[in-house]
Amino acid sequence: MKANLQKFFRYEGTKKVPIEIGEAGDIVVIAGLEKANVADTICDPELNDPIPATPIDPPTMSITISVNSSPLAGTEGKKLTSTQIRDRLVSEAQNNVGITFSQNANVDSFVISGRGELMLEILLTQMRREGFEMTVSPPKVLYQTDEAGNKLEPIEEITVDLDEEYSSKIIDSMNRRKGKLLDLKDTGKDKKKISIPCSNKRLDGLHK
């Protein structure tokens, strides 16, 4: 990727300090990149081989967001139009690599996909705080298929650090969601660490 790099900054504590050279271990800010993205290689123009990028895990769940058409529309927010909602979702998809955006044939309806229910709920909470009002569909699990055409369901591995007295309740809750206990460690001071893989569609409400 070629770009006009105007300035370099390095973080020193919470301050940004102008620099000419960034060294290994520095956290740097580069001004002048208009279309930079995660996994882009920034290097000398004479180099043509980018560093191999680590693939980003695909979304596992989606929701459909549409304009609020109920009789009570406009009572809880000020940003109501499809254009306002669309611009906000497009902006989120551009800045959050875990979110993808698509538009339905219905121009007032948009599909947002992400890495699980919690990620999508955080986005909706942010939008409500910003004054958006909208209608949201129930979440839908996104399945994949392997080379043989078999249907694959997304699985999440959950790691929980908690007080020992609550470990049996969490394990029971995950068992009811068809989860399978992988690891249970004693981390000291009556604390436990639990690792459990579980079907994505069965995690509804767990974080609550």
pLDDT in tens, 72-116: 776 777 888 888 999 999 999 888 888 999 887 766 789 999 988
Backbone angles phi, psi at 41, to 5 degrees: -100, 125
- The total of other beta-carbon atoms located within 10 Å of residue 71's CB is 7
Q: What pTM value is reported for the model?
A: 0.63
The domains of the chain are located at 1-54, 61-142, 155-202
* 33 vs 13, more confident: 13
Distance CA 54, CA 39 (A): 7
R_g (Cα) of the chain, nearest Å = 22
The helix/strand/coil state of 91 is helix
Contact 141, 116 (CB under 8 A): no
Domains 61-142 and 155-202 share a fold: yes
Any idea which residue has 């769940």 for tokens? 61
- pLDDT for 167 beyond 80: yes
- pLDDT for 26 beyond 90: no
Confidence class of residue 200 from pLDDT cuts 50, 70 and 90? low
User: Which residues does residue 16 pair with via DSSP β-bridges, in sequence order?
Assistant: 11
The DSSP code sequence of 16-84 is EEEES---TT--EEEES-SS--TT-----TT---PPPPPPPPPP-EEEEEE---STTTTSS-SB-SHHH
Backbone angles phi, psi at 89, to 5 degrees: -70, -40
Sign of CA dihedral 182, 187, 190, 191: negative
What mean pLDDT is predicted for residues 67-71?
79
* 123 vs 47, more confident: 123
pLDDT in tens, 123-151: 999 999 999 998 899 988 888 888 888 88
pLDDT at 106: 67
Average pLDDT of the residues of the chain: 82
Chain mean position to CA 61: 11
Distance CA 10, CA 17 (A): 5
pLDDT at 58: 85
Distance CA 24, CA 181 (A): 40
Superfamily of domain 61-142: Elongation Factor G (Translational Gtpase), domain 3 (3.30.70.870)
Percent of the chain residues topping a pLDDT of 70: 89
Backbone angles phi, psi at 205, to 5 degrees: 85, 0
Chain mean position to CA 177: 22
CATH architecture of 155-202: 2-Layer Sandwich (3.30)
